[in-house]
């Protein structure tokens, strides 16, 4: 879990951060825009986007940010028997998967917001969709297919029917 800090310019709605979590096994990622980052935001994101979709993870790795170190989080971690580890200070490669995802997500967002840089938070969902539906050579699949067991139906396929769509009907 990591925070992409101080997005500049801030969005029209005042969002300046992205809170993101990446699964080390599948590389699936979840992310939300935030105006500021507190332990309350981290726990709400964790409940809504991780626990209620995928269940309780065994381990979480994050940096040493104050939002990740609070009595609320420590209590939650103990109660759910989660091994929460913190990466080495000033050594981002210790949480390399998260840092790699952050760079990829920012690149995708930049490509989608050329017309209006202050609407990056609205395009975050589209950027996540692109990240999840890109074919990956190592797995010979998309992240979407690995998680859901079938390929995503792309909006273009509805407009220009493909054989796959014809077989589904």
Structural domains of the chain in order of their starting residue, each with its CATH number? 2-133 (3.30.420.10)
Angle at 54 between CA 3 and CA 16, to 5 degrees: 20
Amino acid 138: pLDDT: 87
Mean pLDDT by 10 residues, the chain (169 residues): 87 95 92 96 96 94 91 94 85 69 90 86 94 91 94 76 59
Phi, psi of 47 (to 5 degrees): -65, -55
The position carrying tokens 């209006």 is: 116
Spatial separation of the C-alpha atoms in residues 53 and 57, rounded to whole Å: 11
Spatial separation of the C-alpha atoms in residues 103 and 105, rounded to whole Å: 6
Amino acid 126: pLDDT: 92
Amino acid 168: pLDDT: 61
Contact 14, 7 (CB under 8 A): no
Q: Indicate the DSSP class of residue 136.
A: B
Amino acid 153: pLDDT: 83
Beta strands in 24-152 (DSSP E): 29-34, 59-62, 83-86
Spatial separation of the C-alpha atoms in residues 14 and 92, rounded to whole Å: 26
Amino acid 6: pLDDT: 75
Contact 132, 142 (CB under 8 A): yes
Q: Structure pTM?
A: 0.86
The position carrying tokens 């992310």 is: 31
Beta strands in the chain (DSSP E): 2-4, 17-22, 29-34, 59-62, 83-86
Helix axes 96-112, 124-133, angle to 10 degrees: 120
């Amino acid at each position: 879990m990591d925070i992409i800090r101080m997005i500049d310019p801030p969005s029209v709605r005042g969002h300046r951060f992205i809170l993101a979590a990446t699964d080390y096994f599948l590389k699936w990622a979840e992310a939300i825009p935030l105006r500021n980052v507190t332990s309350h935001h981290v726990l709400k994101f964790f409940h809504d986007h991780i626990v209620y979709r995928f269940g309780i993870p065994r381990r979480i790795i994050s940096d040493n940010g104050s939002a990740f170190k609070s009595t609320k989080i420590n209590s939650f971690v103990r109660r759910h028997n989660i091994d929460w580890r913190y990466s080495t200070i000033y050594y981002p490669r210790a949480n390399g998967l998260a840092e790699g995802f952050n760079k990829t997500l920012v690149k995708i967002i930049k490509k989608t917001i050329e017309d209006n840089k202050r609407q990056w938070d609205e395009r975050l969902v589209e950027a996540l969709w692109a990240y999840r539906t890109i074919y990956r050579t190592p797995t010979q699949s998309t992240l979407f297919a690995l998680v859901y067991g079938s390929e995503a139906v792309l909006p273009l396929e509805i407009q220009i029917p493909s054989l796959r769509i014809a077989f589904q009907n």
